[in-house]
């Protein structure tokens, strides 16, 4: 299990088999062992990274390269044919519909002709290991969606235009002063630009104030 940018090993990554509905964590060396069959789909998820998937064919070793959510990509031209974060999230919910079905613990109470009763399916989902695994993956997919919403608005061209930064300093600034999901949703264009300007003033005064520690191998 590796960071796609730094190529460093990543530990405590959750690996989930969508066929068997079983999940495991890799070890401190970024390695894991699990039983799979040809055609199985494995999901790898950890906070701070996008969810990655691999379909098992005939390979002897399985290697994931996870992309950090805050990574700055080269500038590209956005076309209407590309999906926005909301569409991507809707597609993920469709692709992993079994996860949402197994993780659904709503409607614990059923109201019918005979009165109020307990929903057996909802109880199973709430207490079973498969239900807990599914809910865990739901949270990761939702967090991945939240990060994509931030990336959709907090762009390299915008920050460069407001701050005048470029290159490594621009990347460093954006990593240290990344806005929250809820702020991005609520802020209008004026507030968003003011946020960037205020953060830039702080960055110039203390360039290492919010520097993240390096990933541990």
DSSP sequence for 132-171: HHHHHHHHHHHHHHHHHHHHHHS-HHHHHHHH---HHHHH
Q: Where are the alpha helices (DSSP H) in the chain?
A: 85-95, 97-102, 120-127, 129-153, 156-163, 167-176, 181-186, 189-205
Q: Which DSSP state fits 211?
A: P
**Region 36-53 average pLDDT:** 85
Q: Token pair of 62, please?
A: 């399985």
DSSP helix/strand/coil, 25: strand
Q: What is the pLDDT of residues 95-146, one digit of tens each?
A: 656 555 554 544 434 444 444 343 444 444 444 556 666 666 677 777 777 8
Given a cut of 50, is residue 9 above it in pLDDT?
A: yes
DSSP 47: T
Distance CA 49, CA 71 (A): 9
d(CA 38, CA 36): 7
Spacing of C-alpha 66 from chain mean position: 10
- CA atoms within 13 A of residue 84's CA, in its CB half-sphere: 6
Nearest to 1 by CA among 68, 69, 64, 67: 64
**What pLDDT is recorded for position 26?**
86
Tell me the pLDDT of the chain averaged across its residues: 75
What's the confidence (pLDDT) of residue 150? 87
On whether the CB atoms of residues 132 and 75 are closer than 8 A, the answer is no
Q: How much of the chain, in percent, has pLDDT values that exceed 70?
A: 66
pTM above 0.95, yes or no: no
- What is the pairing mode between strands 41-45 and 22-25? unpaired
Whose structure tokens read 């950090």? 68
Q: How many CB atoms lie within 10 A of CB 134?
A: 24
């Amino acid at each position: 299990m590796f960071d796609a940018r730094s190529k460093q090993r990543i530990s405590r990554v959750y690996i989930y088999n969508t066929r068997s509905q079983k999940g495991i964590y890799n070890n401190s060396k970024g390695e894991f062992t699990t039983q799979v069959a040809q055609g199985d789909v494995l999901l790898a998820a950890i906070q701070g990274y996008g969810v990655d998937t691999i379909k098992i064919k005939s390979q002897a070793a399985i290697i994931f390269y996870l992309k950090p959510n805050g990574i700055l990509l080269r500038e590209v031209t956005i076309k209407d044919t590309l999906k926005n974060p909301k569409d991507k999230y809707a597609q993920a919910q469709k692709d992993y519909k079994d996860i949402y079905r197994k993780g659904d613990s709503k409607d614990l109470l059923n109201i019918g002709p005979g009165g109020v009763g307990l929903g057996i399916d909802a109880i199973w989902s709430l207490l079973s290991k498969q239900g807990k695994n599914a809910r865990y993956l739901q949270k990761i997919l939702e967090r991945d969606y939240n990060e994509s919403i931030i990336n959709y608005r907090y762009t390299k061209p915008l920050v460069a235009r407001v701050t005048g930064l470029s290159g490594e300093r621009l990347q460093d600034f954006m990593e240290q002063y990344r806005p929250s999901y809820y702020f991005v949703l609520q802020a209008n264009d004026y507030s968003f630009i003011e946020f960037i300007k205020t953060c830039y003033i702080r960055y110039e005064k203390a360039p290492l104030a919010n520097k993240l520690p390096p990933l541990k191998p």
